Amino acid sequence: MPWKRMSFKDGKVWAETDDSGELVIERGLVRICYRQNDDRTYSARADALSEIDHDAYDAIKESKKKRKKAAAKKREAGESKGPVGGFPSAKPCATVVTEDEVPEEAIVVYTDGACFSNPGPMGAGVVLIWNDNRREISTFLGHGTNNLAELHAVRLALEAIKNPEIPVRIFSDSSYVIGLLARGWKAKENREVVDELRTLARGFPDLAFVKVKGHAGIELNERVDELAKIAAEKGR
């Protein structure tokens, strides 16, 4: 089947067409991919696809560049500071943004880790949302600490994403995880896991965290907390 370059949620995708150039629509959905001839395809609503407005697209692209530059400046300002102060810093592999800076085309992720007794049985909870798709993960992790569970929750989320080229925004209430991955904190504990997670995170060109307040009634943050505790309960 041929493919046509189309606009989708302020970005560009390849959409499946028939031989006449018309979109192939099944039950209101069109197959799309982010790279031509990519084996990994997704579904998008036909009414969400449109012809490319190059002027509008260029304006959006320029706006994204400005947001990335602003985020980079914030990151650079915090690179010389460790979790307490005075510790050597590591190169961040993500940025920190506000909820208002989350692009519409991003995969939205919520993660949380739980641990009974600390150390004790650990569990991870993850919710991933992209367009109309939602996936939940609840996994028992074995014996360890709450911080280790938080790290593994982010790892599970990133490993579940098939297309790293799509922007990813991780909502987390863990200052520990955000500090290690996005603020240049040096890992004093869990170094092997942190190094592996940083390597994984660097495979995502547009990865950022959104800091949320824990146990504040935020629906999806409460949900991943519940999923993490359910998983940890299996080890008790």
Domains and their CATH numbers in the chain = 3-52 (no CATH), 63-233 (3.30.420.10)
Average predicted confidence (pLDDT) for the chain = 87
Instruction: Please indicate whether residue 51 or residue 59 has the higher confidence score (pLDDT).
Output: 51
Catalytic one of 82, 113, 125, 184: 113
83 pLDDT higher than 90: no
Q: What is the pLDDT at residue 80?
A: 39
89 pLDDT higher than 70: no
Per-residue pLDDT band for 79 (boundaries 50, 70, 90) equals: very low
Mean pLDDT computed over 174-202: 94
Q: What is the pLDDT at residue 58?
A: 64
Mean pLDDT computed over 8-17: 82
Catalytic one of 112, 125, 144, 184: 112
Mean pLDDT computed over 31-40: 80
Q: What is the pLDDT at residue 75?
A: 57
Is residue 173 annotated as part of the catalytic site, yes or no?
A: yes
pTM of the model: 0.64
Distance between CA atoms of residues 86 and 43, nearest Å: 48
Mean pLDDT computed over 152-172: 97
85 pLDDT higher than 70: no
Single-letter amino acid, residue 231: A
Catalytic one of 123, 144, 179, 225: 225
62 by DSSP, 3-state: which? helix
Catalytic one of 82, 150, 152, 179: 150
Name residue, tokens 């367009």: 131
Single-letter amino acid, residue 54: H
Catalytic one of 22, 39, 51, 215: 215
- CB burial of 145-184 (b: ≥16 within 10 Å; e: otherwise) equals bbbbbbbbbbbbbbeebebbebbbbbbbbbebbbbbbbbb
Q: What is the pLDDT at residue 81?
A: 42
Is residue 206 annotated as part of the catalytic site, yes or no?
A: no
Catalytic one of 125, 144, 173, 179: 173
86 pLDDT higher than 90: no
Q: Which residues pair with 6 in a beta bridge?
A: 13
Name which of 36, 5, 10 is nearest 21 in CA terms.
5
Is residue 58 annotated as part of the catalytic site, yes or no?
A: no
Q: What is the pLDDT at residue 120?
A: 93
Mean pLDDT computed over 119-134: 96
Beta strands 120-130 and 133-144 are antiparallel
Is residue 28 annotated as part of the catalytic site, yes or no?
A: no
54 pLDDT higher than 70: no
Q: What is the pLDDT at residue 77?
A: 56
Single-letter amino acid, residue 166: I
Mean pLDDT computed over 212-223: 93
> Which residues does 163 contact at the CB level (< 8 Å), separation at least 6?
34, 40, 42
